[in-house]
Amino acid sequence: MKTALITGVTGQDGSFLAELLLSKGYEVHGIVRRASTFNTDRLDPIYEDPHEPSARLFLHYGDLTDGASLRRILEKVQPDEIYNLGAQSHVRVSFDQAEFTADVVATGTLRVLEAVRDHVEHLHREVKFYQAGSSEMFGAANPPQSETTAFYPRSPYAAAKVAAHWYAVNYREAHGLFICNGILFNHESHRRGETFVTRKITRALARIKMGLQDKLFLGNLDAKRDWGYAGDYVEAMWLMLQHEKPDDYVVATGESYSVREFLDRAAACLDIDWHSVVAQDARYLRPTEVDHLLGDPGKARRVLGWAPKLSFDELVKKMVEHDLELAKQEATLAKAGHHTMLRAVRHG
């Protein structure tokens, strides 16, 4: 049985990856940040009581800003594969919390790499490492972007991801470690955080449909993204670590759409005219925007045999259907006098 360790296991991708690895027979260990409220909701479908002899999912408290915790977990778990997905992953927030973002995203990656380097040297074990790189690293570079496109980061988040990317390349070359950088374009799902634009739109339009809110405030509707499905993208992460040679890969669909086009599709699924409910709020604009991301996934297709399965329209429909169901449940609760979910959604 192979053992995997995932940083960021409680996030969108972490939950899909943990599911995928469990389905492949892995023992899965995840690092969870301590919080005053439960932050493991996305793992509910796969949660197992660790006391059960059959349990294969284990969670450990740790933090990418705390190197000692990372080293301790590594010694204890002795993983065959590490997936470094933990991050302050919101681009807009990174302009307000630049130092924190760099500490988690750039230095946090360096902390894990340093721990892995020592672990491999002392125990003479092979550990394969996946680094969650981002299409944001391309920033202002002209589309389409591929593995050979020069990075031009446009936010503290993107600059930190570029640093993490080069740390990873250097540790591969300097210390002979098996490290892959996945350069993933935007990928979404019904588990996407509610402050990213796709989920913000599907959540709000579904609530508008159910009469739970009347307005949706957004920023720049003209930005274009190459949006895929998170469930497909975690498979690419796994495939990279199964290949005989460590390398870097772009993971994308090869199609891009604007935020406006996403709105069109989502509103059509609900039979809503979004023009009457969407308003602009400058707080959602970025000081430096990334206008157009469009990936060339040719290398991942040729070398790994990877291709996205869910289309853009299917993705939008899946997210809308999920959020309409949530809104219906919320409407039922609201009728019974419960208004607990409104605050979280209004400020998303």
Question: Which residues form the catalytic set?
Answer: 134, 136, 157
3-state helix, strand, coil in the chain (%, to 5): 45, 15, 35
Counting contacts by CB under 6 A, is residue 184 touching ligand NAP? yes
Angstrom CA distances, 217 to 83, 180, 256, 279, 307, stand at: 35, 38, 23, 5, 34
Report, in Å, the least distance between residue 154 CB and ligand NAP: 14
Question: Which one of 43-51, 60-68, 171-179, 294-302 is the stretch in contact with ligand NAP (CB under 6 A)?
Answer: 60-68
Residue with the two structure tokens 């470690």: 177
Taking CB under 6 A as the criterion, which residues in 74-93 touch ligand NAP?
A: 85-89
Q: Please give the Cα distance from 84 to 81 (Å, whole number).
A: 10
39 binds, among ligand GDD, ligand NAP, none (CB under 5 to 8 A by kind): ligand NAP
330 binds, among ligand NAP, ligand GDD, none (CB under 5 to 8 A by kind): none
Question: Which one of 31-39, 52-60, 207-215, 321-329 is the stretch in contact with ligand NAP (CB under 6 A)?
Answer: 31-39
232 binds, among ligand NAP, ligand GDD, none (CB under 5 to 8 A by kind): none
Q: Please give the Cα distance from 12 to 27 (Å, whole number).
A: 19
Q: Please give the Cα distance from 87 to 152 (Å, whole number).
A: 20
If you write DSSP's letter for every residue of 86-151 in order, what string do you get? -----HHHHHHSHHHHHIIIIIHHHHHHHHHHHHHHHH----EEEEEEEGGGTTTSPSSB-TTSPP
Report, in Å, the least distance between residue 110 CB and ligand NAP: 13
Q: Please give the Cα distance from 277 to 172 (Å, whole number).
A: 50
> Where do contacts with ligand GDD occur on this chain (CB under 6 A)?
89, 91-92, 134-136, 185-186, 195-197, 200, 218-220, 223, 225, 259, 284, 286, 289-290, 293
Counting contacts by CB under 6 A, is residue 13 touching ligand NAP? yes
Contact set with ligand NAP (CB under 6 A): 7-8, 10-14, 31, 33, 35, 39, 63-65, 85-89, 104, 132, 134, 184, 186-187, 193
